[in-house]
Amino acid sequence: MNSSALNRVKRFPFVVFLKKIFPILIFLIIFGITLLIGVWDIKKFKYSNSEFDNVSKEQIDSYVESFKGKNIFVVDPSEIEYEIRNGNGYISEVYAKKVLPNSISISFKEYEVRYTGYSSDVCHFFSKEGVRLEEVCSECEKECLEYSTSLESIYISSESVLESNRLLIYREEFDKISKLLSQFGYEIKDINIVKGISTIKDIDEHTFVFDISNDLDLQLSRMYLVGEKINEQEINFKSLDLRFERPVMRLK
């Protein structure tokens, strides 16, 4: 074939079209082969967390096991995040990212235990945000108190339910009380709730009584005034009842 005929063939529309799409065809063929041999199938999960507190690596592995072997392009990272959050109450935040060709990078944050609550014969752990983390045991009041001691958490006992929709009902009230008491050097150890009346003990065995169902801010204002007086005069007291206009103090 002479050069002029060859040039005519090269200018033929179909040949021109093939020249344009040839690199794409090669890419699609190679990509198809990699799909067939499983190059893009998820093979491992990488955790950015160097330490695990209340969650184990084995637990996280079990939550993501169903995604192993799936094609990385058809897996939505949000699905992995949902499985981890739904599988473990201690997970507060989780982020999953694809790492080509066949890995998933996972980072997460854990809740810390702040409260150990016992009500309706069931022991629960709650985070400092008031989120119920897990049910620990049932009909186990003594064991629940021991858990609280070992975890150095605030122990809460109540005659009624403590949580609703996985949230500690009185978390905001407890935070306000704890914040104010800490200003005067009192660290809460345990709380007993009966009909909305909270009897609070600190680590030095001082007792404070609040009605958390009735104008708590007013009672906290009383606590602030009395607390200043106690510190100024170095009063050695046993208990302080803030429910009344004139707080009732019992001396040691």
Whole-prediction pTM: 0.79
Where does the chain hold its CATH 3.40.50 domain(s)?
113-251
Q: Which pLDDT band, with edges at 50, 70 and 90, does 22 fall under?
A: low
In angstroms, the Cα distances linking 219 to 210, 213, 246, 248 are: 7, 11, 10, 12
How does pLDDT run across 68-114, given as a tens digit for each residue? 999 998 899 999 999 999 888 999 999 999 999 999 999 989 999 99
Q: Could you say which architecture CATH assigns to the domain 44-110?
A: Roll (3.10)
CATH number for 113-251: choose from 3.20.20, 1.10.260, 3.30.2010, 3.40.50. Answer: 3.40.50
List beta partners, residue 201: 190, 207
Q: Mutual orientation of helices 216-233 and 171-183 as an angle, nearest 10°?
A: 20
Core vs surface per residue 38-74: b (16+ CB within 10 A) or e: eebebeebeeeeeeeebbeeeebeebbeebeeeebee
Where does the chain hold its CATH 3.10.20.310 domain(s)?
44-110
pLDDT over threshold 90, residue 24:
no
pLDDT over threshold 70, residue 14:
no
